[in-house]
């Protein structure tokens, strides 16, 4: 396999394109890109859904790097990738797609993650992509890290990428798991490459769902950041309409919010309208596949 990759002529424009990605990064953050940061950007923008790839690419794709002489590489600096806007990722995605298509066209078969890594290694070793911390010629090995298919249950703080019908992803944060289901905090807008960017805003009202789309890999866990939990309620409620239990429980003029411990809180007309209780669109929980369609259609409270 490695021999095949080495025999594949790599268009000079691919190396030049990734050099442009490095230049765009430097322009945005005010300093040259490290190897770790470049691989982080490329990992988020990997062409996982391209017909030129074999369908086993995770997103993000991560790499294990060794330097000349077998020395392990570890980028010791804090990553500046979270500061980027989407333009750098768009460029990285386009050039990586071109690389995957070239590799697939030459071999006649879809590209595997490891073959893709071998091709990227050749690009790095060409020295045409400027790096802040190492010379390209000093990169000795690049191994794609593809996780096993078994997917554990989500944890609070996990960031989920939910595929969107029109491309890109809806992003959600796992908040808690309780007797109502799994609570997700949603973010406004779509992300082209399944990452949280500075232009994504937290929606006010979380939703409950179940975990089938997570466990089968449709919704990928693309990060973990417990600091984001502060953007959402710690104990998200479900809502009940007025007269939900006549003569048994008073649910007020506009409805009540119930938390997982059974506590009830009367809500006002504004909150009832925001969450869809007044017009009948509110659901206390969504089947995961249905929630994905609702998000594609622009539903679920955006306040």
Mean pLDDT by 10 residues, the chain (303 residues): 45 86 93 94 86 85 90 86 86 91 89 93 92 91 80 85 90 93 92 78 89 87 92 93 88 92 93 89 88 86 54
Asked if 187 and 276 sit in the same domain, the reply is yes
CA torsion sign, 191 to 193 to 194 to 195? negative
Q: What is the largest CA-CA distance in the chain?
A: 79
Q: 277 lies in which domain range?
A: 158-296
Asked if 167 and 118 sit in the same domain, the reply is no
Residue 256 near residue 239 (C-beta atoms within 8 A): yes
Asked if 105 and 168 sit in the same domain, the reply is no
Residue 190 near residue 164 (C-beta atoms within 8 A): yes
Assigned domain for 150 exists = no
pLDDT at 151: 57
pLDDT at 9: 52
pLDDT at 283: 87
pLDDT at 299: 74
Number of domains in the chain: 2
Asked if 283 and 259 sit in the same domain, the reply is yes
Assigned domain for 130 exists = yes
Last residue of a domain, one of 114, 145, 176: 145
Beta-bridged to residue 186, according to DSSP, are: 172
pLDDT at 11: 62
Q: What are the CA-CA distances from residue 57 to residues 112, 114, 195 (Å)?
A: 8, 10, 16
Asked if 137 and 7 sit in the same domain, the reply is yes
The reported pTM is 0.62
pLDDT at 302: 52
């Amino acid at each position: 396999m490695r021999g095949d990759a080495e025999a594949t002529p790599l268009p000079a424009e691919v190396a030049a394109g990734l050099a442009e990605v490095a230049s765009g990064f430097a322009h945005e953050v005010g300093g040259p890109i490290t190897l770790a940061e470049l691989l982080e950007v490329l990992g988020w923008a990997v062409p996982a859904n391209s017909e030129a790839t074999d369908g086993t690419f995770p997103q993000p794709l991560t790499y294990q790097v060794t330097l000349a002489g077998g020395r392990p590489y570890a980028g010791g600096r804090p990553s500046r990738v979270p500061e980027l806007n989407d333009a750098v990722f768009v460029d990285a995605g386009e050039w990586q797609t071109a690389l995957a298509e070239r590799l697939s066209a030459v071999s006649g078969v879809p590209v595997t993650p490891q073959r893709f890594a071998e091709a990227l290694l050749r690009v790095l070793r060409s020295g045409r992509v400027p790096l802040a911390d190492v010379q390209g010629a000093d990169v000795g090995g690049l191994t794609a890290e593809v996780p096993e298919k078994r997917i554990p249950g989500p944890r609070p703080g996990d960031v989920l990428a939910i595929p969107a019908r029109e491309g890109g992803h809806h992003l959600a944060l796992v908040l808690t798991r309780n007797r109502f289901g799994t609570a997700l905090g949603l973010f406004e807008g779509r992300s082209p490459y399944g990452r949280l960017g500075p232009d994504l805003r937290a929606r006010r009202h979380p939703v409950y769902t179940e975990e089938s789309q997570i466990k089968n890999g449709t919704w990928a866990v693309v990060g973990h950041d417990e600091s984001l939990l502060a953007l959402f309620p710690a104990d998200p409620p479900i809502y009940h309409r007025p007269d939900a239990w006549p003569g048994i429980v008073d649910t007020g003029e506009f409805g009540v919010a119930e938390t997982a411990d059974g506590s009830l809180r009367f809500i006002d007309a504004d909150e009832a309208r925001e969450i869809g209780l007044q017009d009948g669109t509110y659901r206390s929980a969504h089947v995961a596949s249905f929630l994905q369609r609702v998000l594609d259609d622009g539903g679920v409270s955006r306040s």
